[in-house]
Amino acid sequence: MSRLNDKYALITGGTSGIGLETARQFLAEGAKVAITGRSERGLQAVKEKLGDVLVFKSDAGDINQQRELAIALQQHWPRLDILFANAGDVTHRSLQEWDEKTYDQLMSTNIKGPFFLIQALLPLMASPSSVIVCGSVSARIGLPQSSAYAASKAAILSLARTLSAELHPRGIRVNGLSPGPTDTPALGKLGNGLGDEQLRDEIRRLVPIGRLGTALELAKAAVFLASDESAYVVGTDLLVDGGVGSL
């Protein structure tokens, strides 16, 4: 398949879960792919799995590192056709358990970092090009312990709309991709104290169709938003959530 043939694609948070599977699917569709992650070991493991990918160690919540990433990418590629801002902090806590440091870290990773990454990458962005920001169905529902996380995802989805209005004259489309509960390693990072199987059962009960999503299902949606097939899709939020946000 070649829906992304000769396109240059950057995926942040690409060492596991949705990001990793999206990198695999982008490669299968003909794209040249770069990924970021915070772990050198994780990046090297992905390079061994996927082969011909660029890897950059980068903390998605550090503005200076986002600017450095943009500079480094310019040294390797002539342009950028696709950005999937996928890296995220999924911390869930009850309101009384939050502290300023943890809150700031989550917001920096989920909204502040992506905002300044897009800014830094503008000189490299092609026309046309596609920016995909990773939202969440949590922005649409009132799930306990998700207050800060859901707020950050509502913010990034708002950014997709406002930046679409600002950037479409430059040929840049910005859209949100919002997963529902998805079976990835991130499930174990929610931090709500439940055991793995107990947590999965509790989350599964939230989904009208009765199961968790898969990283592949989200990656296929990302391929659509990255490809020219979605050229008329601008400033929207694509829900891939088993009906959580709609039913």
Inform me whether the pLDDT recorded for 151 exceeds 70: yes
pTM: 0.96
* pLDDT for position 138: 97
Mean pLDDT in residue range 90-96: 96
**Residue 99: enclosing H or E segment and its boundaries?**
none
Q: Name the superfamily (CATH) of residues 8-240.
A: NAD(P)-binding Rossmann-like Domain (3.40.50.720)
* pLDDT for position 186: 80
Q: Work out the pLDDT band at 117, boundaries 50, 70, 90.
A: very high
User: Concatenated DSSP letters for 36-71?
Assistant: EES-HHHHHHHHHHH-SEEEEE--TT-HHHHHHHHH
Beta bridge partners of 176: 133, 237
Inform me whether the pLDDT recorded for 140 exceeds 70: yes
Q: In what order do the strands lie in the sheet with 8-11?
A: 53-57, 32-37, 8-11, 80-85, 125-134, 172-179, 237-240
**Lowest-confidence region among 20-29, 198-207, 231-240:** 198-207
Mean pLDDT in residue range 173-190: 88
Residues serving a catalytic function are 149
* pLDDT for position 187: 76
pLDDT tens, residue by residue, 162-178: 999 999 999 999 999 99
Inform me whether the pLDDT recorded for 194 exceeds 60: no
Q: Work out the pLDDT band at 189, boundaries 50, 70, 90.
A: low
Q: Work out the pLDDT band at 196, boundaries 50, 70, 90.
A: low
Inform me whether the pLDDT recorded for 147 exceeds 70: yes
pLDDT-above-90 percentage for the chain: 91
Inform me whether the pLDDT recorded for 188 exceeds 80: no
Cβ atoms within 10 Å, residue 166: 11
Inform me whether the pLDDT recorded for 191 exceeds 90: no
Inform me whether the pLDDT recorded for 192 exceeds 60: no
* pLDDT for position 193: 52
* pLDDT for position 113: 98
* pLDDT for position 14: 97
Cβ atoms within 10 Å, residue 188: 11
* pLDDT for position 25: 98
Mean pLDDT in residue range 39-62: 96
pLDDT tens, residue by residue, 207-238: 999 999 999 999 999 999 999 999 999 999 99
The set of residues, in sequence order, having a beta carbon less than 8 Å from that of 140 and lying 6+ positions away, is 178, 239, 245
Inform me whether the pLDDT recorded for 42 exceeds 90: yes
